[in-house]
Chain A
């Protein structure tokens, strides 16, 4: 898609979905490289020297970065265009796509419904066919939730696979960066560019980032009974239908709720520490929802936080040794409940709102606690015409395996090719 075509689609879609924060071009593309001429845009939290990154917030509105994110340097070198910045949850700390400061991002399939978050604009812009791909960040599901809700493909990378230098931090033990695009093939292209060691992010590693060749048999672990008993029937059906494309082995489900609680302990403790000074000096400048999440982190005992981090290795070992003992990846829904509306999950969502948010995020946070990669793939639509997504979760640094499996699945299906109807 050319820059001019992208601009035409922005003009058509922006009033409906509010995916862009800025449409000022940020990088012109070098004309050569694996992404030459491709129009990309990114979540408004990847810094570019001399340009604004608002981080979805009031506090950082108009803030000018002094240096450029490592991932943007790599995309620039690969020839990609950067055509603007994308909406996101305030400080990437929200799972729905609501934003009190910049306006909610709306689902291209039906703007009454949530996009998922926090990489809301990234998923919406890809789903609307505006950009080839967009970067997002994933600390508790922030790539996979919007990818699933908007019907696109999203890759949460292994913790340590992609440099976070020059990206807004939320929770350093959990933060990861990855691409959202229409297909696993397109995600693989972006992933191949951004993955790799960077001395400015000391947790990154040299592990090879190849995507395995197609045609290899993939054995996928699944907990069919758990899915039938816990997911909404329409979602369970779509997931189990999709699973038939793979060679399956049954496995006991990981303790999602326990691992999710551990993830929240880490996330809230670290996010609150990161925001401590602003929380002391200008708490009124946060939205009510984000302020409440940040307040909670200050009440978590330090010993509890450290003990949960001590347990992390044991749980990773158990997931790889038991759940993945006979399999290359584990298949589970990205979101097990019907997508809620923006009204149901917004500031006036009522007493059921916290429970609705917990249901939406139930199956993503455990992956961040383990630090493993996960690929979200569209696998159907519910009776309201809203997308359904599955996750393939792998061992550390198994992105290549997941992308190859995703590519094979998308050769056998066409869910990823479906586009929401253009606005009238």
Chain B
């Protein structure tokens, strides 16, 4: 995956890369409730609605 992006891994790093990246793919309880129409910009309207 990295090679296809032109990125050369430093020596000895390949074994350590996967566990760190896999650890970020966590179960999120809100995933199932998220409406289909939500996108990344929805955050901006939420921030405006809940602001101080």
Q: Can you list 16 A-B pairs with a CB-CB distance of less than 8 A?
A: A207-B51, A257-B26, A261-B26, A295-B2, A298-B2, A309-B43, A310-B34, A310-B40, A311-B34, A313-B42, A313-B45, A314-B33, A371-B43, A371-B47, A395-B50, A397-B52
Q: Tell me whether A396 and B52 are in contact in the complex, defined as CB-CB below 8 angstroms, given that A283-B10, A313-B38, A371-B43 are known contacts.
A: yes
In the assembled complex, A343 has its CB within 8 A of some CB on chain B? no
User: What's the dominant secondary structure at chain B's contact region?
Assistant: loop
Alpha-carbon distance A296/B13, docked complex (angstroms): 10
Q: Is the CB of B13 within 8 A of A258?
A: no
Q: Is the CB of A306 within 8 A of B46?
A: no
Write the B15-51 contact mask toward A (1 if CB under 8 angstroms, else 0): 0111011011110101101100011101111111111
Size band of the interface chain B makes with A: 35 or more
Alpha-carbon distance A310/B39, docked complex (angstroms): 5
Alpha-carbon distance A408/B21, docked complex (angstroms): 42
Closest B residue to A264 by beta carbon equals B24
Q: Is the CB of A317 within 8 A of B25?
A: no
Q: Is the CB of A309 within 8 A of B52?
A: no
In the assembled complex, A315 has its CB within 8 A of some CB on chain B? yes
How many Cβ-Cβ contacts under 8 Å join chain A to chain B?
Answer: 108
Q: Is the CB of B7 within 8 A of A279?
A: yes
A411: which B residues are within 8 A, CB to CB? none
Alpha-carbon distance A283/B40, docked complex (angstroms): 31
Closest B residue to A324 by beta carbon equals B50
In the assembled complex, A398 has its CB within 8 A of some CB on chain B? yes
Smallest Cβ distance from B48 to chain A, in angstroms? 8
Closest A residue to B52 by beta carbon equals A398
Q: Name the interface residues of A386-424: CB closer than 8 Å to any CB of B.
A: 394-398, 400-401
Q: A292-B13, A313-B46, A318-B30 are in contact. List 17 more A-B contacts (CB 8 A).
A: A160-B47, A257-B26, A258-B28, A268-B24, A276-B7, A283-B7, A295-B7, A299-B18, A307-B31, A310-B42, A311-B30, A311-B34, A313-B38, A316-B50, A395-B52, A396-B48, A400-B52
Among A160, A265, A292, A317, point to the contact of B24 (Cβ < 8 A).
A265
Question: For B10, B42, B50, which residue has the most chain A Cβ atoms within 10 angstroms?
Answer: B50
Smallest Cβ distance from A228 to chain B, in angstroms? 25
Q: Is the CB of B51 within 8 A of A398?
A: yes
